[in-house]
Amino acid sequence: MHLVQNLVDALSLGSLYALCALGIGLIFGIMRMINFAYGEYITFGAYALVIPSGSTVAQKFIGDFPIPLMVISIIAVVVLLAIATERIAFRPLRKREATPATLLVSSFAVSYFLQNFILFVHSGRPKSVNILPEFISPLDIIGLHIAIIDIVTVATGFVLVTALWLFLRYTIVGIQMLAAAENFRMARLLGVRADRVIAIAFAITGLLAAVISLLVVAKDGVLDFRMGVPLVIVAFVATVIGGMGSLPGAVLGGYLIGMFSVALQALLPADLRAARDAFLFAAVILVLLFRPHGLIRSRNTIERI
C-alpha cells in the first residue's frame, strides 16, 4: 500500500524534474549555454496567476480563469517572456560571437533581474494561492490515497516528453534543431536559420516552464520569488548526470533525481531526513566520479568545425 503511494510520489517528482531538465538541456544542446533564467520563467508563470500587489493575501487573476483558458494564458505569458529574454539578453551577445561563459553571466543577470522585479512588484513575502483545489484532494483507489495532482503531473510529464520527442524527430524544424545541436555552424551553412531555431527553442522552454509553474502551484499552493531557483539547480544537476548535451540523458537524470529524493525521504531514519538533500547531492558526486561525462555521453559537446 505504502509502496504504491511512494511510487506515485516518486514518479510525480521525477516527472516534474524531468520537465525542468528538458528546458535546460534543450537550450544547452543548441547554444552551449546554461540558461539560469529558466528558473525565473517558472516563478514568473506562477506569479502571473495573481494580481500584482504588495499584500500577502493573493488575489487571483489568470488563476481565476476556467482551466483551459488559464493554462493557455500562463503558457502565452511565459513563452513571450522566454522569447523576450532571448531577444534582449542573448541574441545581441550571440551576434558578437560571445563565449558560453559570457552568455552564462547574461543568464544570471536576467535571472536576478526577474527575481528582483517580482520582489519589487509582489513583495518578498510568500503568498498562498489555491488554483485547482479539486486536484489536491486525494483519490481513493482501493484504499490508497493518491492526490490527483500527482497523477496529472506524471501524465503531463509523459505527454510532454513524448510530444517533444515526436517534434524533434518528425518535423522539419525539429530535425533542424537536432542538427543545430550537433553542429550549429554546419546547420547554418546548409541554410538553417539560426535566429529562428533558437527562438523556437526558447518558446519551447517557455512552454515547459509555464506547465511546471502550474503543476508546482497547484500542488504546493505557495508563491515565492525564489521558487524557481531550486528547480533550475536540480535541472542543471539532472542534465549533468544524464550527460550534458543529451536530451534523453536530461530526462533520465530528472526522473532519477526525483525518484531518489523520494526514496531517501521514505527510507532514511526520521532524524536524518532533514539532511536528505545532503545525501542526494553526495550521490550525485558519486555518480559523477564513476561517470564524469554523465550516464549518456554526448559526443557533440566537442565536435565543431
Partner 1 sequence: MHLKIENLVIHYGRIAAVRGVSLHVDTGELVCVTGPNGAGKSSLLLAIAGAIPLTSGSIRLDGREIGGTVPEAIARRGISLVPEGRHIFNRLTVEENLYLGASSRDSRAEVRNDLERIFQQLPILRERAKSLAGSLSGGEQQQLAIARALMSRSQLLLLDEPSLGLAPKIIGQIYEIISDLRRSGLTFLIVEESMTRALDMSDRVYVMASGVIRTSGRSSDLASDENLNDAYFGLTAASPDGSG
For the chain, the straight-line distance linking the first and the last C-alpha, in angstroms and rounded, comes to 56
Q: Rounded to the nearest whole angstrom, what is the least distance from the CB of residue 172 to partner 1 in the complex?
A: 7
- Check binding of 183 to partner 1 (CB under 8 A): yes
- Check binding of 300 to partner 1 (CB under 8 A): yes
Contact region with partner 1 (CB under 8 A), list: 4-12, 54-62, 98-106, 186-194: 186-194
Residue 300 and residue 177: Cα distance in Å, rounded? 13
Q: What is the DSSP letter of 56?
A: S
* Residue of 65, 94, 182, 229 that binds partner 1 (CB under 8 A): 182
Looking at the Cβ atoms of 110 and 180, the one nearer to partner 1 is 180
Q: Rounded to the nearest whole angstrom, what is the least distance from the CB of residue 213 to partner 1 in the complex?
A: 32
How many degrees, rounded to 5, is the angle at CA 109 between CA 106 and CA 113? 145
**Contact by Cβ (8 Å): 164, 153:** no
Residue 126 and residue 156: Cα distance in Å, rounded? 26
Looking at the Cβ atoms of 191 and 269, the one nearer to partner 1 is 191
Task: Give the total residue count for the chain.
Answer: 305
CA nearest 276: which of 4, 12, 13, 11?
Answer: 13
* Residue of 190, 285, 289, 302 that binds partner 1 (CB under 8 A): 190
* Residue of 98, 104, 194, 295 that binds partner 1 (CB under 8 A): 194
- Check binding of 301 to partner 1 (CB under 8 A): no
**Contact by Cβ (8 Å): 9, 150:** yes
Written as nine digits, the cell of 228 is 524557481
* Residue of 188, 226, 276, 293 that binds partner 1 (CB under 8 A): 188
Which residues of this protein are in contact with partner 1, per CB under 8 A? Answer: 172, 175-176, 178-179, 182-183, 185-194, 299-300, 305
